[in-house]
Structure 1
Amino acid sequence: MSGTSATARGAAWAAADPYASALRAGRGPLFLRRTDGWLLPLEVERWCAEADAVDRAVLERCEGAVLDVGCGPGRLVAELATRGRPVLGIDVSEAAVEHTLRLGGQALRRSVFEPLPGEGRWDTVLLMDGNVGIGGDPGALLDRMAQLLRPGGLLIAETSAVDVDERVRVAVVGPTGTRGAGEAFPWARLGTRALLRYARGWERAGQWTAGGRCFAALRTRDRSTSSSAEPPNRTAVISSQRARNTSPGSPVAER
């Protein structure tokens, strides 16, 4: 997957007007519509709410500086910011970035396949809320995660609650299922077993379920790093105070 094509695919999601409208309203219904008409409900209300107990338990496992890929309206970025943690969210949706900034988090409007601040130095990268599907190519996405993380860095991914390995084209649609649909783009749905199959060259660092949601943790290889993804948190590798609003063009820190 080339960076250019991946960026274009991300832009298709950003151009999905029903998604932006739902984030600004803080509610759905909203769906991913497969080309055969099958609809996957999107949990807009949960994404727009504060981090819940399951989210907070995931964040307790994070180490050091955190990059939230596909941060959406920013509940996880905001929660980490209130804890004084160095954190940056990225999303291709302008509405998502605006919402994150309003919550007091730092965020950039950018595809994960575009150049990002601190590449190769992030301690933890998050792929939550189905974002293992970004780009429709799990292998390419995992390769990109490895580029972003430091040696021994931690990836925490939320996987599908069902055992699935699916690459599809989808569009974001509103309650009618068809009217106002955004442009179709590649997406993937992965259960934990499928994600682990794609994770060649990664060390497994744990898998768990909570609140009906499923998660897996992986590490880039580094002999000096523990294989556990359990708390307590590591000391951050970058110096940062409580997250503050910045313009979308400003990095989380000069690194």
Structure 2
Amino acid sequence: MSLPAALRADTADAADAAVPWVDDPFGRAVRAGRGPLWLRRADGSRLPLEVERWCAPAAGADLGLLARCRGLSAPVLDLGCGPGRLVAELLATGVPALGVDVCAASVDRTTGLGGLALHRSVFDRLPAEGRWGAVLLADGNLGIGGDPAALLARSAGLLAPGGLLLVETAPEEVDEVADVRVEGLDGAGPPFPWARCGPAAALRHARTAGLAHREQWHSHGRSFLALTRP
């Protein structure tokens, strides 16, 4: 049975639709290991993306973040793992870890470092839901989906009872959602919603998601929270 013409057109449009972080300069930057790359807001302002740092070995504030993953009774899940430096460092120090990312170039780079990664959205079905010892939302990934409370609730559902959710926040106090595009010197991708939260806003969203506050710290100009699933 053939599809109606209107349905065929809708299906073709969906197939041709560009996907943020996939059909934009991000994947090319990850493969090259360098930027420059930005998130461009509709008003023309830009937020830099630290591609070179993400593609380099874990260092600086990364090490304090990952130290909090040692000694857990269950593995670590890195949501939006990017080029895989955190997953690779965890595995190198004997901590079982898995990355998840929608960008195939990120997954390829993670596995090229000897890490493990899945090519999926954080909102797709994932292995061992409700059994992870820690979940990471680093490098601005609290912005995924443009709804921090929903993302934190999703992350909480992945944790084992008493598990740790380690979240990097914006260093300044901000709570915003904006439509942005990934932009490089070779063009820009499609628009999508993205959020930025400072520590206070992230804690408000965490309470909405049923998470408890354990710790807050700053390191090398970056800001972090440790949250727990009661």
TM-score by length of 1: 0.80
Aligned Cα root-mean-square deviation (Å): 1.3
Q: Give per-residue Cα distances to partners, 1:80-135, cap 9 Å, x unaligned.
A: 11122210000000000000000000000100100000000001000000000000
Equivalent position of 1:23 in the other structure: 30
Q: Map of 1:77-226 to 2, 5 A cutoff?
A: 77-175=87-185, 180-200=187-207, 201-221=210-230
Larger Rg: 2
Counterpart CA distance in 1 for 2:176 and 2:183 is: 19
CA contact (8 A) 2:24 2:190 kept: no
Deviation at 1:155, TM superposition (A): 0.3
Aligned pair count?
209
Deviation at 1:50, TM superposition (A): 0.1
Q: Which has the higher contact order (CA 8 A, sep 6+)?
A: 1
Counterpart CA distance in 2 for 1:185 and 1:115 is: 22
Runs (4 or more) in structure 1 with deviation over 2 Å come to 11-17
Secondary structure of the structure 1 residue equivalent to 2:227: strand
5+ residue gaps, structure 1? 1-10, 222-255
Deviation at 1:152, TM superposition (A): 0.9
CA contact (8 A) 1:22 1:28 kept: yes
Counterpart CA distance in 2 for 1:15 and 1:67 is: 21
Q: Does 1:55 align with 2:62?
A: yes
Secondary structure of the structure 1 residue equivalent to 2:19: helix
Counterpart CA distance in 2 for 1:74 and 1:151 is: 26
5+ residue gaps, structure 2? 1-17
Letter of the structure 2 residue corresponding to residue 202 of structure 1: L
Letter of the structure 2 residue corresponding to residue 82 of structure 1: A
